[in-house]
C-alpha cells in the first residue's frame, strides 16, 4: 500500500513538473539539435496525402534524382559540422502515404493534428528526425502560401495544389517543389534569425527570417507562387543542386 502511494505520488509529481516549452524555446532546442557537431544523421522523412504525391524521378539530364536537390542543399548547409549525414527518400515507395483528407483549407490546429500523428521527437538515438508533409488544399484558404513551418516544430508542410498552380515545365515544377522543401527546412533549422544569428548583416528587414540575397533559397520571394519561377530561373537553367547561399552556410558554421 505504501509503495503504491509512493508510486502514485511520483507519477503525480512528474506530471506536475513536466516542462511545457513555448514555441520559441522549442525552436532554440531544434536549432541546437540541428547544429550540434557529431555523427548525427539528419533524416528527412516524407509523408504525402493521396493526390498530393511529391515529385521524384530524375533531373540534371538523368545524372541526379529530384531529391538530390534537398540532399545536396542540406549537405552544403551542414558542411562544417563534423560527421553530419543527410538522408532523403528518392522514390514514392520510400515515402509514406496519408489517406485522403478531403479538405480544401487547413487551420493551424488541423495541421498540427495531422503532424502529431506522424512525428517523433526530433532527436532519437543520435539521429535527427524531420518531417515533410504534403497536403492537398491551402492554409486558411490562402492560395499564396506554398509551404509552412510552425515555429518550434520538427515538421514542415508543402501545399501541393499551390505548387501545381505555379505551372511551368515538369523540370520547373520539380524545382519549385524542392525549393519550397529546402526553404521550409531552412526555417526549421533556424536560419536568418530564427535561432541562428546571421554573421553578416543579410536579414531582409521587411521580411524577417529571410535573406536579402536573391540567389539564396532563403529569399522571401521563393515562397511566393507568382515570383518563384523568375527567382529560380538561373538555378533551374544551371540545374544546380545546392540552393543555399554562402551567407547562410557561413551562419551555420559560425553558430
Ligand atoms: Zn520563408
**Per-residue pLDDT at 60:** 87
What is the Å distance from ligand 1's center to 11 Cα?
41
Q: What is the pLDDT of residues 37-76, one digit of tens each?
A: 887 999 999 999 999 999 999 998 889 999 999 999 999 9
| Cβ contacts of 2 within 8 Å, gap of 6 or more | none
What is the Å distance from ligand 1's center to 19 Cα?
29
**Per-residue pLDDT at 184:** 98
What is the Å distance from ligand 1's center to 101 Cα?
25
Q: Does position 4 have pLDDT exceeding 60, yes or no? A: no
Q: Quick one: three-class SS letters along the chain?
A: CHHHHHHHHHHHHHHHCCCCCCHHHHHHHHHHHHHCCCCCEEEEEEEEECCCCCCCCEEHHHCEECCHHHHHHHHHHCCCCCCCEEECCCCHHHCEEECCCCCCEECHHHHHHHHHHHCCCCEECCEEEEEEEEECCEECCECCCCEEECCCCCEEEEEHHHHHHHCCCHHHHHHHHHHHHHHHHHHHCCCCCCCCCCCCCCECCCCCCCECCCCCCCEHHHHCCCCHHHHHHHHHHHCCCCCCCHHHHHHHHCC
Is 5 a member of any domain? no
Is 75 a member of any domain? yes
- Lowest-pLDDT range of 14-23, 122-131, 212-221, 238-247: 14-23
**Per-residue pLDDT at 146:** 98
What is the Å distance from ligand 1's center to 185 Cα?
10
What is the Å distance from ligand 1's center to 16 Cα?
36
What is the Å distance from ligand 1's center to 20 Cα?
26
What is the Å distance from ligand 1's center to 117 Cα?
25
What is the Å distance from ligand 1's center to 130 Cα?
17
Assign 125 a pLDDT band (cuts: 50, 70, 90): confident
Q: Does position 120 have pLDDT exceeding 50, yes or no? A: yes
What is the Å distance from ligand 1's center to 207 Cα?
8
Q: What is the pLDDT of residues 210-238, one digit of tens each?
A: 999 999 999 999 999 999 999 999 999 99
Is 12 a member of any domain? no
**Per-residue pLDDT at 19:** 82
What is the Å distance from ligand 1's center to 214 Cα?
13
Mean pLDDT, the chain, rounded, equals 93
Q: Does position 108 have pLDDT exceeding 70, yes or no? A: yes
What is the Å distance from ligand 1's center to 186 Cα?
8
Assign 105 a pLDDT band (cuts: 50, 70, 90): very high
What is the Å distance from ligand 1's center to 180 Cα?
9
Q: Does position 8 have pLDDT exceeding 80, yes or no? A: no
Is 3 a member of any domain? no
Q: Does position 9 have pLDDT exceeding 70, yes or no? A: no
What is the Å distance from ligand 1's center to 190 Cα?
11
| Domains of the chain: total | 1
Q: Does position 242 have pLDDT exceeding 70, yes or no? A: yes
What is the Å distance from ligand 1's center to 2 Cα?
56
Is 37 a member of any domain? yes
CATH number, domain of 114, equals 3.40.390
What is the Å distance from ligand 1's center to 95 Cα?
24
**Per-residue pLDDT at 212:** 98
Q: Does position 18 have pLDDT exceeding 80, yes or no? A: no
Q: Does position 6 have pLDDT exceeding 50, yes or no? A: no
Q: Does position 11 have pLDDT exceeding 70, yes or no? A: no
What is the Å distance from ligand 1's center to 151 Cα?
12
Is 148 a member of any domain? yes
The Cα 255–Cα 170 span in angstroms is 37
Is 6 a member of any domain? no
**Per-residue pLDDT at 13:** 42
What is the Å distance from ligand 1's center to 52 Cα?
21
Q: What is the pLDDT of residues 153-190, one digit of tens each?
A: 999 999 999 999 999 999 999 999 999 999 999 999 99
Q: Does position 196 have pLDDT exceeding 70, yes or no? A: yes
Q: Which domain holds residue 248?
A: 20-253
What is the Å distance from ligand 1's center to 158 Cα?
12
Is 14 a member of any domain? no
Q: What is the pLDDT of residues 78-91, one digit of tens each?
A: 999 999 999 999 99
Amino acid at each position: 500500500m505504501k509503495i503504491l502511494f509512493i508510486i502514485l505520488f511520483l507519477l503525480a509529481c512528474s506530471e506536475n513538473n513536466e516542462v511545457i516549452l513555448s514555441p520559441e524555446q522549442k525552436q532554440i532546442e531544434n536549432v541546437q539539435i540541428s547544429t550540434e557537431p557529431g555523427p548525427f544523421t539528419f533524416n528527412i522523412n516524407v509523408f504525402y496525402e493521396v493526390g498530393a504525391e511529391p515529385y521524384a524521378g530524375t533531373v540534371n539530364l538523368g545524372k541526379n534524382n529530384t531529391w538530390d536537390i534537398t540532399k545536396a542543399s542540406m549537405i552544403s548547409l551542414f558542411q562544417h559540422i563534423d560527421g553530419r549525414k543527410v538522408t532523403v527518400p528518392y522514390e514514392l515507395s520510400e515515402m509514406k502515404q496519408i489517406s485522403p483528407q478531403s479538405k480544401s483549407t487547413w487551420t493551424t490546429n488541423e495541421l498540427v493534428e495531422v503532424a502529431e500523428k506522424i512525428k517523433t521527437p526530433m532527436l532519437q538515438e543520435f539521429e535527427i528526425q524531420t518531417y515533410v508533409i504534403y497536403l492537398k488544399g491551402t492554409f486558411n484558404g490562402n492560395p499564396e502560401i506554398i509551404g509552412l513551418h510552425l515555429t518550434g516544430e520538427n515538421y514542415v508542410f508543402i501545399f501541393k495544389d499551390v505548387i501545381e498552380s505555379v505551372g511551368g515545365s515538369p523540370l520547373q515544377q520539380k524545382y519549385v517543389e524542392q525549393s519550397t522543401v529546402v526553404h521550409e527546412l531552412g526555417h526549421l533549422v533556424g536560419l536568418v534569425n530564427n535561432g541562428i544569428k546571421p554573421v553578416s548583416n543579410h536579414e531582409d528587414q521587411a521580411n524577417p527570417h529571410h535573406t536579402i540575397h536573391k540567389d539564396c533559397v532563403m529569399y522571401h520571394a521563393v515562397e511566393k507562387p507568382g515570383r518563384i519561377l523568375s527567382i529560380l530561373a538561373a538555378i533551374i537553367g544551371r540545374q544546380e543542386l545546392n540552393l543555399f547561399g554562402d551567407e547562410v552556410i557561413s551562419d551555420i558554421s559560425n553558430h
